[in-house]
Amino acid sequence: MRFAIGCDHAGLSLKATLAERLQQRGHTVQDLGTDGPASCDYADFAEAVARAVSQGQADQGLLVCGTGIGMSIAANKVPGVRAAVLSDTFSARSTRQHNDANVLCLGERVVGAGLALDILDAWLDASFEGGRHQRRVDKITALEASASRSHE
């Protein structure tokens, strides 16, 4: 699987740890930054990763900031993206199985490296179940399309 990953200055260390795990598990990683500790804006990196996913340049995305919340909010503004900020393995499995989430957001200041790796593994080991969940994801997609039409 192809992953686009990104972070702001508050997620730099955890991003490196998670990128290594993705590569260990055989995934391709495209790192879209940031690459250093200088203060930067999370929305820029959320947009880059979300666009890579929505345009099919990546199958899934991974974003890290201080809490994961800002990344999630920004990424979800890009059509076709279903980003989820997670801090437990149950939700990681469920959001893949039931919501077909395609961007994982984590907070380096919220979860330690050990838990973050467990969350990533749970995310990677789960897959969309379809069925009744497909109908619900379709409604999310329709809501997204309706919202974008109303802004034209």
| Residues catalogued as catalytic | 65, 98
What is d(CA 76, CA 82) in angstroms, rounded to the nearest whole number? 6
What is d(CA 50, CA 4) in angstroms, rounded to the nearest whole number? 8
- With tokens 């919340």, the residue in question is 69
What is d(CA 136, CA 89) in angstroms, rounded to the nearest whole number? 22
The strand pair at 83-85 and 103-107 is best described as parallel
Distance of CA 62 to CAs 3, 86, 109, 142, Å? Answer: 7, 11, 16, 24
Helix H or strand E encompassing 14: helix 12-24
What is d(CA 134, CA 118) in angstroms, rounded to the nearest whole number? 26
